Amino acid sequence: MSVLITGATGFVGRALCSRLAADGCHFVPASRAEGNLIWGRLHAVGSIDGLTSWKSALKDCSVVVHLAGRVHVMKDDAADPLALYREVNVQGTLNLARQAAAAGVRRFVFLSSLKVLGEASVLGQPFSAENDVCPIDPYGVSKLEAESALRLLASETGMEIVIIRPPLVYGPGVRANFDLLMRAVARGIPLPLGSIENQRSLVALDNLVDLILICLTHPRAANQIFMVSDGEDLSTPDLVRRMAKAMDAPVRLVRVPVLLLNVFAKLTGKSNAMQRLCENLQVDTSKTIAVLGWKPPISVDEGLRRAVAQYRK
């Protein structure tokens, strides 16, 4: 089995390639630009859109893991952000999948997003693979459209499609808001999050990679959608406490009413970020466990320890 990995230099791509190399699996790492990595030379494909040629990268590959895409942008000032997301995440994905099917690839694993289901769940009613879809932002819309296009292509060509919808992924090298939170905790900055009573699912990078590896070959994964998480939901204050424990740092949580937090966030243009800190977003992985027999190999605490270790470097 030879596996094409798109987005090989990204957060998830690097971890997946490292794991494949350690397991002795043959894979082709692909990215937009050329370069050398510890596990081989990158296959450069240039911009990813509806015209990208994947012919040489797909040679002799039987499985594709498509990680590359236009990621969620917090402050997107594009005139038409949905058009940009569609160009890469929909047209680019479908173009690759069509070429893969024509090249005889038997399975296409697509990393989608929990955002296809919405931005928040009702407490105690976690999102499952069977939930009605309700994307809110252009990124979520583009991921859902890519899912739909892939499932249609599977019915037309017989190539197996596997879709994975992760929540927030954290681990060594994590960026964006999770990195900012780690920095604040490490510096002992008082955080006004002590009154938040929510529940959110996360997934450690190593747990996500482990599920992707199972989806490469498991016969029951074909044409399925899977949810993934660490199997333990945390409130925002709990996350801060566990993060501080991993850092051996003091916990400095200040109890500020959530209503005041939301008012302040609105006044400062941070409403979306505050929403992610305050609202519930839970994931039901029972289907993943039942169909694949999969369970997360590491705990939340171990995932945080690994993320913190890399942060300290």
Burial profile 94-109: b = 16 or more Cβ within 10 angstroms, e = fewer: bbbbbbbbebebebbb
**Domain of 147?**
2-171+203-230+281-298
Is residue 312 over pLDDT 90? no
On whether the CB atoms of residues 138 and 69 are closer than 8 A, the answer is no
Rounded-to-integer distance, Cα 12 and Cα 208, Å: 8
Rounded-to-integer distance, Cα 44 and Cα 142, Å: 24
Pick 224 or 45 by higher pLDDT.
Answer: 224
pLDDT for 1 equals 87
Does residue 219 lie within any of the structural domains?
Answer: yes
Number of C-alpha atoms within 13 angstroms, CB side, residue 169? 26
pLDDT for 74 equals 55
Does residue 182 lie within any of the structural domains?
Answer: no
Neighbours of 214 (CB within 10 A): 16
Does residue 264 lie within any of the structural domains?
Answer: no
Sign of CA dihedral 250, 256, 262, 263: negative
Distance spanning both ends of the chain, measured CA to CA = 35
pLDDT for 71 equals 85
On whether the CB atoms of residues 181 and 242 are closer than 8 A, the answer is no
Does residue 181 lie within any of the structural domains?
Answer: no
Report pLDDT digits (tens) over 182-220.
999 999 999 999 999 999 999 999 999 999 999 999 999
pLDDT for 265 equals 86
Cα-Cα-Cα-Cα torsion 85, 91, 92, 97, nearest 10 degrees, comes to 140
Nearest to 282 by CA among 230, 243, 237: 230
Report pLDDT digits (tens) over 258-303.
999 899 888 888 888 888 899 999 999 999 999 999 999 999 999 9
Does residue 142 lie within any of the structural domains?
Answer: yes
Does residue 307 lie within any of the structural domains?
Answer: no
Rounded-to-integer distance, Cα 254 and Cα 244, Å: 15
Is residue 76 over pLDDT 80? no
4 sits in which H/E element: strand 2-6
On whether the CB atoms of residues 171 and 303 are closer than 8 A, the answer is yes
234: tokens are: 């945390």
On whether the CB atoms of residues 112 and 215 are closer than 8 A, the answer is no
Q: Which residue has the tokens 């006004």?
A: 192
As a whole number, the mean pLDDT across the chain is: 93
Rounded-to-integer distance, Cα 116 and Cα 227, Å: 12
Sign of CA dihedral 247, 252, 256, 262: negative
pLDDT for 41 equals 76
Does residue 217 lie within any of the structural domains?
Answer: yes
Look at the chain and report how many structural domains it folds into. 1
Does residue 304 lie within any of the structural domains?
Answer: no
pLDDT for 75 equals 59
On whether the CB atoms of residues 5 and 63 are closer than 8 A, the answer is no
pTM of the predicted protein model: 0.94
Give 37's pLDDT tier (boundaries 50, 70, 90): low
pLDDT for 206 equals 98
2 sits in which H/E element: strand 2-6
Report pLDDT digits (tens) over 78-96.
778 899 999 999 999 999 9
pLDDT for 264 equals 87
Pairing of strands 40-41, 36-37: antiparallel
Where in the sequence numbering do the catalytic residues fall? 139
220: tokens are: 């029951």
pLDDT for 226 equals 98
Rounded-to-integer distance, Cα 178 and Cα 137, Å: 20
Neighbours of 126 (CB within 10 A): 20
Question: Residues 6 or more apart from 41 whose CB is under 8 A from it?
Answer: 34, 35
Neighbours of 44 (CB within 10 A): 12
Rounded-to-integer distance, Cα 16 and Cα 249, Å: 30
| CATH value at residue 142 | 3.40.50.720
Taking residues 15-21, report their average pLDDT: 94
On whether the CB atoms of residues 65 and 4 are closer than 8 A, the answer is yes
170: tokens are: 């954290």
